[in-house]
Amino acid sequence: MQIVHYPHPVLSFKSVEVQQIDGTLRKVVRRMFDLMYEANGIGLAANQVGLPFRFFLVNLAARPDSPDEELVFINPIIKKKKGSELGEEGCLSLPGLYGDVDRSEEVTIEAFDLSGQGFAMELSELPARVVQHETDHLDGIMFTDRMREQGESEDVDIELLKFKMNFKNAQNENLFANDDELLKNVQDMAKSGKIPADFLEIPVHKLTPPQLNDE
């Protein structure tokens, strides 16, 4: 399992709800936390590792030695939003790329945990921004899409072309299937409603991020 980079088709796929919490899901969540820490991230959505299911995880401490800060949100729904705040965001599927995004300053989110228990949280500032960013992922929306809606994506769009070229080169080297095959695999998983039993055994072909402008 690995963190997939833009423009992998799964990143623009609207995820389906989790129907069952089982041992495979728990193993995947554990590996996702490990991948997130390796990448120095604070949040990671399921489709960022190639899974079209509605769950994401967060640890604002970004450290494996802070397990009490680990949160898993299964089938999350943002129920309330309040205020507006501009802030910088990045994404583990767009390593090295950052931009300012306008988000609600306060949110109320409802979800289920790994025990199947429902919960609700009222969040503000960074925690609110993170859950909005990750919930967007589950709807196939990236922070760059939000920037585009705000009319602030011109410079970022130039950098996105480098990610597209990088991914296409990897496909040409047969490290990844073509877009149609990748999308069909995602659709088949979504239709089955469950994570494949052998998902954690899929060979890893990590991409080196493209060289981005520092300006």
Question: Which of 106, 134, 159, 181 is flagged as catalytic?
Answer: 134
Structure tokens at 109: 């989110």
Between CA 178 and CA 206 the distance in angstroms is 16
Structure tokens at 45: 């959505």
Question: How far is residue 75's CA from residue 118's CA, in Å, rounded to a whole number?
Answer: 10
| Distance of alpha carbon 64 from alpha carbon 34, whole angstroms | 8
3-class SS at 35? helix
125 is catalytic: no
For residue 193 the two structure tokens come to 């409603």
Residues identified as active-site: 134
